Amino acid sequence: MRRIIAVTSLAALALVAAPAAARAATAPTASTASAEGCYYQVMPPYPANLRIRSGPGTGYDAVGAAGYMETIWGSCQSQGGWVRVGSDDGSPGWAYRPYLRRVNH
């Protein structure tokens, strides 16, 4: 009986730890973030999601969204008021810089 509980506990722990490990593998580390990018808190003028676009402008398709007050990672430089950002799945996009507040992470 103890063996069954131990195996079940280990399996449950693996299920909980796997998503966190996957995010950690794709997210930049503290040392690479300072050298290669910045963290931003999403702050549109009202509590809403911020559209992530396929290019730097409203003429590009929305490819995702970032939630209000969510922290996202992106480039430290903007291009025409837009910042290149990454998503959880690793695909790139662009966010409107005035709706982002740079934060330390």
Mean pLDDT of 72-92: 86
Q: Mean pLDDT of all residues in the chain?
A: 74
The CA distances from residue 53 to 30, 35, 100, in Å, are 26, 24, 14
> Regarding beta strands 62-66 and 50-53, do their DSSP bridges make them parallel or antiparallel, or are they unpaired?
antiparallel
pLDDT at 77 over 70: yes
| 98 confidence band (pLDDT: 50, 70, 90) | very high
Q: Which residues have a Cβ under 8 Å from the Cβ of 38 and sit 6 or more positions away?
A: 73, 74, 75, 76, 102
SS3 48: coil
d(CA 5, CA 32): 40
Q: Work out the pLDDT band at 89, boundaries 50, 70, 90.
A: low
